[in-house]
Amino acid sequence: MERIQKHIALSGKELALGYFHQKAKKEILSNLDFTLFSGELTCLLGPNGVGKSTLIKAILGQIHPCKGSIQLDQRSITDYSIEELAKRIAVVLTDPVFPGNMTVGQLVALGRTPHTGWSGKLNPADRDVVEKALSDTKITYLRDERLSEISDGQRQKAMIARALAQDGQVMILDEPTAHLDLVNRFEIMSLLRDIAHAQRKAILVVTHDLDIAIETADRFWLLNCGTPLISGKPEDLILSGQINQLLPNNTYRFSLSRGRMEAEEPDLNFKIEGPQELIFWVEKALIKAGIKNLDSTISVSHKPFLIRHQEKEFLSVEELVFFLKH
């Protein structure tokens, strides 16, 4: 197969990262290799405390690698000045602090600071970039609204617009969908993927939201304690079973057929007959209720929904579970 040439925006080789505390070194990550491609939305996933934020800090030049180096456009991150890095890497961190009386337009204009200098004076070209960032994130209508008077999802889009206005080739976002509802989480991640594709940006998102990441990401980076960083298309990692690296024990597994993490099924001694999708939900309710053994079969049917068991009829799963528990 002919290999597709991709543009590498950022890479790390044999990195060791950690912190110094009273001259003692605490190593968090070691032998870390990674490549971030332009034009892709990459999601970094891993359990709490594994070192995701530590890796982000290293990419932003906030901590220096104990070993190895991070290359941005074939130059070590440490060779860039803070101003140069700010023009190339835009960041959206969790819980940013901005004055509530600032308007969305003012916030997005702040993204131009690395280009305007500290005077903050925007020229017509800067203003065009700000307008485009507002329009790309579909929040032009919020331009004059105050940050304290918009929703969390709208504020998150404004933060993304600010990062877009910064116009770096790399965008890094730490849990941009935390605290948002399902629709907003999906919308924001889809927006980021569209931006990565349309503007050829390399976008790295730290997230715990596996379901949405599977739906939207072009690439996953999986980080787990003591193992090398695994990088690949989400679908390849699912098909190869490597996705289970996210789970440190055998209690949960990724279900290939259902496309999500599930608790390992206990041994069940009962039989349910009927359409597969109905069996799935009835079985789930019985497992949750701690019912593992039944002498006779349960049958379930559609239209009207009906469950039969021991010559009795039940109109809902709740009625069945109540009967079996009492």
- Comparing CB distances to ligand ATP, the nearer of 93 and 324 is 93
- Comparing CB distances to ligand ATP, the nearer of 46 and 234 is 46
Report if residue 51 touches ligand ATP, rule: CB under 6 A: yes
Upstream peptide bond of 275 is cis (omega within 30 degrees of 0): no
Contacts of 167 (CB under 8 A, 6+ apart): 87, 90, 111, 115, 129
Q: How far is the CB of 210 from ligand ATP (least distance, A)?
A: 13
Q: How far is the CB of 158 from ligand ATP (least distance, A)?
A: 23
Collapsing DSSP to helix, strand or coil, 58 comes out as: helix
The distance from CA 96 to its chain's CA centroid, rounded to whole angstroms, is 18
Report if residue 213 touches ligand ATP, rule: CB under 6 A: no
Report if residue 48 touches ligand ATP, rule: CB under 6 A: yes
Report if residue 281 touches ligand ATP, rule: CB under 6 A: no
Report if residue 50 touches ligand ATP, rule: CB under 6 A: yes
Pairing of strands 40-45, 252-255: unpaired
- Comparing CB distances to ligand ATP, the nearer of 53 and 299 is 53
Residues 28-47 that bind ligand ATP (CB under 6 A): 28, 46
Q: What's the rounded Cα separation, in Å, for the pair 112 and 132? A: 12
Give the count of residues interacting with ligand ATP (CB under 6 A). 12
Report if residue 88 touches ligand ATP, rule: CB under 6 A: no
Q: How far is the CB of 229 from ligand ATP (least distance, A)?
A: 12
Report if residue 53 touches ligand ATP, rule: CB under 6 A: yes
- Comparing CB distances to ligand ATP, the nearer of 245 and 299 is 245
Q: Which of 32, 34, 52, 217 is the binder for ligand ATP (CB under 6 A)?
A: 52
Phi, psi of 307 (to 5 degrees): -115, 135
282 close to 300: Cβ distance less than 8 angstroms = yes
Site stretch for ligand ATP (CB under 6 A), options 50-58, 65-73, 108-116, 306-314? 50-58
HSE, side-chain direction, 13 A CA sphere, residue 194: 11
Q: Which of 49, 99, 275, 290 is the binder for ligand ATP (CB under 6 A)?
A: 49
DSSP codes joined into one string, 145-169: SBGGGS-HHHHHHHHHHHHHHHT-S
- Comparing CB distances to ligand ATP, the nearer of 73 and 211 is 211
Burial state string for 206-223 with b = 16 or more CB within 10 A and e = fewer than 16: bbbbbebbbebbbbbbbb
Q: How far is the CB of 94 from ligand ATP (least distance, A)?
A: 8
Both tokens of residue 290?
A: 């701690």
HSE, side-chain direction, 13 A CA sphere, residue 261: 18
Question: Which parts of this chain interact with ligand ATP (CB under 6 A)?
Answer: 19, 21, 26, 28, 46, 48-54
